[in-house]
Amino acid sequence: MRTEMDELVARAQEGHRGAFDELVRRTHADTYTLAYRLCGNEEDARDVVQDAYLRAFKGLKRFRGEAQFSTWMYRITANCANTLMSKRHKHRHDELPDTVEDTDHERDPAARADAMALRQDLEEALAELSPKLRAVVVLRDVYELPHEDIAAELGISETAAKVRLHRARRQLKEHLFPRREDQPLGEEIRAS
């Protein structure tokens, strides 16, 4: 059974510009959010989104519909972000909101300060990851995509996606919870 999105894709593939415009309207928020999380700033995210939709428009006839259009856009967006970040050779970071929506944090200044400090530490840790590792972490831990979908989106094997995720999480852990010099190997500093 074809969905409304499938119909829009089919019409866009036939050359109906309005159908493609509607696909953009329906997927833009998610595409931009992914680009922003991968690039870490608005300007780069806008460039990535523009490039992603341009690539999608040019390659729409090759879209076979084996995945949802939004999933296809995730892959294109991740590839565009990776290309941009590789060109710049900079490791930017994901900006997390400055507000804490948990009411306990809002009422407790110490808890709010702890949350803000953790957020800053996480931003720094993400900034140190390579774009390839950051992409896997964002797709898995933020978008909760399964390894199979991550592999498809990034054009890598499922094993490679799992390895990258493991490496990224290990690097994040090392950054967030460094081992003290006087601490025996294997013992970790635990956050309370």
pLDDT at 182: 58
Single out the residue of 34, 36, 42, 80 nearest to residue 58, CA to CA: 80
User: Is 100 exposed, middle or buried (CB count within 10 Å of its CB: 0-12, 13-18, 19+)?
Assistant: middle
Reading the chain (192 residues) residue by residue, the pLDDT tens digits are 678 888 999 999 999 999 999 999 999 999 999 999 888 889 999 999 999 999 999 999 888 888 889 888 988 998 898 888 877 654 444 444 444 444 455 567 777 777 777 777 777 888 788 888 988 988 888 788 889 888 887 888 999 999 999 999 999 888 888 766 655 555 544 443
Right CATH for 96-192 from 3.40.50.300, 3.90.1150.10, 1.10.10.10, 3.40.190.10: 1.10.10.10
Report domain extents, the chain. Answer: 1-90, 96-192
pLDDT at 88: 67
Helix axes 147-154, 158-176, angle to 10 degrees: 100
Would you say 15 and 60 are in contact if contact means Cβ atoms under 8 Å apart? no
Q: What is this structure's pTM?
A: 0.57
pLDDT digits (tens, 9 = 90+) for 21-50: 999 999 999 999 999 988 888 999 999 999
Second-level CATH architecture of 1-90: Orthogonal Bundle (1.10)
Distance, C-alpha 156 to centroid of its chain: 16
pLDDT at 184: 57
Distance CA 24, CA 37 (A): 19
